[in-house]
Structures are given as structure tokens and as C-alpha cells.
């Protein structure tokens, strides 16, 4: 039972997640005034560490809002009403980019993909070639509704090459909310123009803060003539003389700053390896129960499964009532058909507990569970997840 969770329930959900020890401690400390020198230092430290996380030299805006606020800020600041962007849609969160564009009067060329799929670079470039007026591509690194990972490196570099060839700059924006501190991401090396994160996923922190990292092309667009904006005017957040522009959630800044520093202390490559290992172990275990993963390219933080003839709601209910484990169900058209398991910050014992619980629940529902297969391989598969044990 997690000490951070007084009800004794473990969250295997893709945000909010069980808090890291340092996030909990940072929250309680809190109490900084946002115009004090101490707070300024905390914010500077947070944004310095965020640059390490985004693997970038670009500036970062810290906004008090959940992740969707950062998405809206990016759309409203980089694009003007009437401009058109390309949005590959493979689930609820990539679809949200399109909804925000609709709401702000930005034109959308949708590229509809099957659930579990991710956009291929050649298909993205084909559409850019087909439609001259597209000025941006909005990507979702990890589509949290299916666990699918986009090959951002390949897509973004293909968009950059296309731009150079045409002499027409198309900017790439990436929602990295469920991939930062989880899956490998390199903003500058991959030529991403704008990337966003939020506090309640891989940062193992409470919800309430979001982050926008702005490259040079994106900064040029932000300075241009755009639609109406006030609270989400990124110019205010990026202007060094007026930071922060409004009262930020000061306690959250303290919590996220502590949590990210401790995660970076583990080493980002070790963190990426740990998530690869946990996703592979959960997929492997589920396959031994006849439960099939949905994603073609698997993300590290969340695995979604098709349950076949089992009812997803019943499985989730039994995990909660009999084992104190909370997992997520499908969203939108996938409701009732899939189960989603997030392993953010989970060490070996917790992932084992989840797998044992799942085996017990589906076993009681009549599924054959290959226990020998689990016992033979699981310990070795989970070795890299040991890093989390020092964060508790
Ligand atoms: C969680 C999440 C968001 C943001 O959701 P909020 O509830 O606004 O924080 C956006 N994109 C993805 C991929 C997410 O997983």
C-alpha cells in the first residue's frame, strides 16, 4: 500500500499518478511568495531542469493550468485564425489538438489513423505536399488513450527536410505530456519547434502546472499577428522582466522542482530504460493471459489492452475492489473494450503486484493464465525498474 495514498489504493492510471516522495515533501514545504527571491530561484531551478528533460537550449514557459491549457496556448500563439495545420488523429488526445484548433478558428487537415496506430513520416510529408497552405504539424508523442508512441524523430526531421526543400517553413509542435521523463525525447536534435509537458504524468507530481518549450521558429510565430489572447499569451511568460506574469501555483512549483530534480538524479537514460522494461513486462505478462496490446509502437508509460470477451469495466472493478489497484478504462469509442495500465514511477514489487492481481482477476473469469511463463521471465525483465525504489 502506497504511503502517499491514505485510502490504500494504488494508482496505475495515466495521470494523476501516485506522487514521488520528493513531490510530496515539496508540496508540504510550499509557502513561498511569488515575488520573493526564494521563489524566483525555485522557478529558475525548475526551468533549468526542464531544459535537461526536453533536451534543449530553448526557453520554457511555466503556466498554471493542466496540460490542455498549454495545448491551447500553443495553438493560440503560433497560429492565426484562418491558417491551416495538419493533425494526425489516432485517439482522444491527438483529437484534442484538432478540437482546440476548431475552437480557435484554426483550419485542420485531419489525418485519421486506426486506434493503436501512429503517423508515418512519409504519409505526413505526402499531405504537406498535397496542400500548400499547411503551416504546422501537431503531434502527440504518446497517445495516452491507446499507449501508442509516435516516432517524433522521424516525423519531425521529415517535416524539416520538406520545409527546407520547399523554402516554406512548417512548424512541428509536440504534445509530450505523457512522454517526458518516460520515453526518449530530444527537442533540439529532432528539430521540434514547440513541445509541451504537464506536471501530473512522468514528473510524478500533482496536476496543475504545464510547460511550453519554444524554439526559434515558434518564437517568431508567437511574436506575429495572432488571434486574441490574454492569460495564455506566451509573450508574457517568456519575457524575463515580468516572470511570472500572474500568481503561479507556488506550492506546485516547489513540488515539481523537487520531483524532477530527483528523477534527473537517477539519470534520464536509466529512466527511459526502466519504462521500456516495465511496458515490455506488462505486455509480456498480459499476452500470457490472452490479453492483446493495442499499440503498434509501444510507449513506455502506458499499455492499453483489448480484453476480447472479457468486460473491461468488470476487470477494472475487480482490480479495485479485491486488490486496491486502480487502472484506466477506454475512452470514447474504446470505452468498455480496453483497459489501460500506467506504470509511472512503479518499481519491481508494484508491477509484480499489478501483474499478480490481473492474473488472479482474469483467472477467476475463466481465462487460462500461463504462470510458468511469468515466473521464468518476469524478474529479469523488471530489473531496470529497480531505480524507482530509491525515490520512495
Ligand atoms: C494528460 C494528457 C493531456 C492533458 O490533459 P489535462 O487533463 O489537461 O492535464 C494532454 N495530452 C496527453 C497526451 C495527455 O496524456
How many whole angstroms separate alpha carbon 21 and alpha carbon 255? Answer: 10
Residue 1's pLDDT band (cuts 50, 70, 90): very low
Question: Residue range 346-359: average pLDDT?
Answer: 94
Cβ neighbours for 28, distance < 8 A, ≥ 6 positions apart:
none
Are the beta carbons of 227 and 76 closer than 8 angstroms?
yes
Are the beta carbons of 381 and 277 closer than 8 angstroms?
yes
At 142 the three-state DSSP class reads strand
Residue with CA nearest ligand 1 atom 3: 67
Distances from the Cα of 309 to the Cα of 179, 363, 365, 388, angstroms? 31, 13, 10, 35
Q: How far is the CA of 363 from the centre of ligand 1 (A)?
A: 33
Which ligand 1 atom is nearest residue 178's CA? Answer: 15
What is the CB < 6 Å shell around ligand 1? 14-15, 66-68, 93, 140, 142, 144, 175, 177-178, 198, 207
Which ligand 1 atom is nearest residue 201's CA? Answer: 1
Taking only the tens place, the pLDDT of each residue in 268-307 is 999 999 999 999 999 999 999 989 999 999 999 999 999 8
Which ligand 1 atom is nearest residue 71's CA? Answer: 10
DSSP notation for 238-252: H-GGG-SSS---HHH
Indicate the pairing of strand 302-306 with strand 292-293.
antiparallel
Q: How far is the CA of 366 from the centre of ligand 1 (A)?
A: 35
How many whole angstroms separate alpha carbon 249 and alpha carbon 65? Answer: 9
CA-based end-to-end distance of the chain: 12
Residue 160's pLDDT band (cuts 50, 70, 90): very high
How many whole angstroms separate alpha carbon 272 and alpha carbon 127? Answer: 32
Residue 3's pLDDT band (cuts 50, 70, 90): very low
Residue 335's pLDDT band (cuts 50, 70, 90): confident
Residue with CA nearest ligand 1 atom 4: 67
Q: How far is the CA of 218 from the centre of ligand 1 (A)?
A: 21
Question: Residue range 149-155: average pLDDT?
Answer: 98
The pLDDT of residue 336 is 85
Taking only the tens place, the pLDDT of each residue in 16-74 is 888 999 999 998 886 677 888 889 999 999 999 999 999 999 999 999 999 999 999 99
Which ligand 1 atom is nearest residue 15's CA? Answer: 1
Amino acid at each position: 500500500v502506497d504511503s502517499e495514498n491514505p485510502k490504500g489504493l494504488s494508482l496505475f492510471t495515466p495521470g494523476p499518478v501516485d506522487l514521488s516522495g520528493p513531490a510530496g515533501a515539496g508540496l508540504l514545504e510550499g509557502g513561498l511568495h511569488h515575488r520573493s527571491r526564494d521563489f524566483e530561484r525555485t522557478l529558475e531551478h525548475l526551468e533549468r531542469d526542464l531544459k535537461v528533460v526536453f533536451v534543449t537550449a530553448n526557453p520554457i514557459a511555466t503556466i498554471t493550468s493542466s496540460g490542455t491549457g498549454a495545448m491551447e496556448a500553443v495553438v493560440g500563439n503560433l497560429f492565426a485564425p484562418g491558417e491551416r495545420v495538419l493533425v494526425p488523429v489516432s485517439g482522444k488526445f491527438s483529437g484534442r489538438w484538432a478540437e482546440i484548433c476548431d475552437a480557435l478558428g484554426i483550419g485542420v487537415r485531419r489525418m485519421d489513423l486506426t486506434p493503436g496506430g501512429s503517423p508515418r513520416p512519409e504519409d505526413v510529408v505526402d499531405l504537406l505536399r498535397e496542400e500548400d497552405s499547411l503551416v504546422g504539424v501537431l503531434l502527440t508523442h504518446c497517445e495516452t488513450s491507446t499507449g501508442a508512441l509516435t516516432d517524433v524523430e522521424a516525423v519531425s526531421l521529415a517535416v524539416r527536410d520538406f520545409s527546407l526543400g520547399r523554402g516554406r517553413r512548417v512548424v512541428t509542435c509536440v504534445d509530450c505530456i505523457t512522454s517526458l521523463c518516460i520515453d526518449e525525447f530530444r527537442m533540439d536534435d529532432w528539430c521540434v519547434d514547440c513541445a509541451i509537458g504537464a506536471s501530473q504524468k512522468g514528473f510524478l507530481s500533482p496536476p496543475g502546472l504545464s510547460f511550453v518549450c519554444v524554439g526559434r521558429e515558434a518564437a517568431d510565430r508567437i511574436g506575429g499577428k495572432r488571434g486574441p489572447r490574454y492569460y495564455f499569451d506566451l509573450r508574457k511568460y517568456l519575457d524575463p522582466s515580468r516572470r511570472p506574469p500572474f500568481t503561479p501555483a507556488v506550492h506546485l512549483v516547489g513540488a515539481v522542482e523537487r520531483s524532477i530534480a530527483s528523477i534527473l538524479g537517477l539519470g534520464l537514460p536509466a529512466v527511459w530504460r526502466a519504462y521500456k522494461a516495465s511496458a515490455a513486462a506488462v505486455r509480456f505478462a498480459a499476452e500470457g493471459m490472452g490479453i492483446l496490446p493495442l499499440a503498434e509502437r509501444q510507449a513506455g508509460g502506458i499499455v492499453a489492452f483489448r480484453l476480447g470477451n472479457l468486460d473491461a469495466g468488470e476487470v477494472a472493478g475487480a482490480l479495485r475492489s479485491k486488490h486496491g489497484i486502480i487502472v484506466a478504462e477506454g475512452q470514447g469509442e474504446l470505452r468498455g473494450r480496453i483497459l489501460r495500465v500506467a506504470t509511472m514511477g512503479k518499481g519491481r514489487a508494484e508491477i509484480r503486484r499489478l501483474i499478480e492481481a490481473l492474473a488472479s482477476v482474469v483467472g477467476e473469469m475463466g481465462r487460462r493464465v500461463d504462470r510458468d511463463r511469468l515466473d521464468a521471465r518476469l524478474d529479469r525483465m523488471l530489473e531496470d525498474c529497480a531505480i524507482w525504489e530509491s525515490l520512495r
